[in-house]
Amino acid sequence: MKTIKSIAVVALGTALLSACSWVDLNPAAEDILVLKPFQTKQCEQVRRTTSQVLDKIWFVNRNQEKMAEELATLARNTAAELGGNAVVPDSEIEEGKQTFIILNCPHLR
């Protein structure tokens, strides 16, 4: 019976942790937008960046939406450091990694 309880506790803990976010948005990145590709026609590419987060916790896959949110937050933080004002995903999420293009969009300033 103790084994079942232990497994249940580990499963519950993993589920709770997989819903947590460990990535904070820097105050300087609050105005950085995440755009869709069709919204970038008037923008200039600053550079590319690859964001990475954990995709599994104890062999349990993390929530795809939560990972996408964290990856975009990391990209926004990087864009703020490099003088961009927007980012757009340039790849799908694969093993907790995603590439973004950092943009300067004068019409958004």
Q: What is the mean pLDDT of residues 77-100?
A: 97
Q: Report the CATH number that the domain containing residue 64 is assigned in CATH.
A: 3.30.110.70
What does the pLDDT read at residue 108?
81
What does the pLDDT read at residue 92?
97
What span, in angstroms and rounded, lies between the C-alpha atoms of 109 and 102?
15
What span, in angstroms and rounded, lies between the C-alpha atoms of 45 and 9?
47
Per-residue model confidence as pLDDT tens digits over 43-60: 999 999 999 999 988 888
Bridge partner list, 60: 57
Across all residues in the chain, what is the average pLDDT? 86
What span, in angstroms and rounded, lies between the C-alpha atoms of 87 and 75?
7
pLDDT band of residue 61 (cuts 50, 70, 90) is confident
What span, in angstroms and rounded, lies between the C-alpha atoms of 104 and 85?
5
Per-residue model confidence as pLDDT tens digits over 63-86: 999 999 999 999 999 999 999 999
SS3 assignment, position 29: helix
Other CB atoms closer than 10 Å to residue 14's CB: what's the count? 16
pTM: 0.79
Provide φ and ψ at 47, rounded to 5°. Answer: -175, 180
Range of the domain at 23: 2-108
**In total, how many domains does the chain have?**
1
Q: Is-contact 101 88, C-beta < 8 A?
A: yes
Is the model's pLDDT at 11 over the cut of 90?
no
Q: Is-contact 48 100, C-beta < 8 A?
A: yes
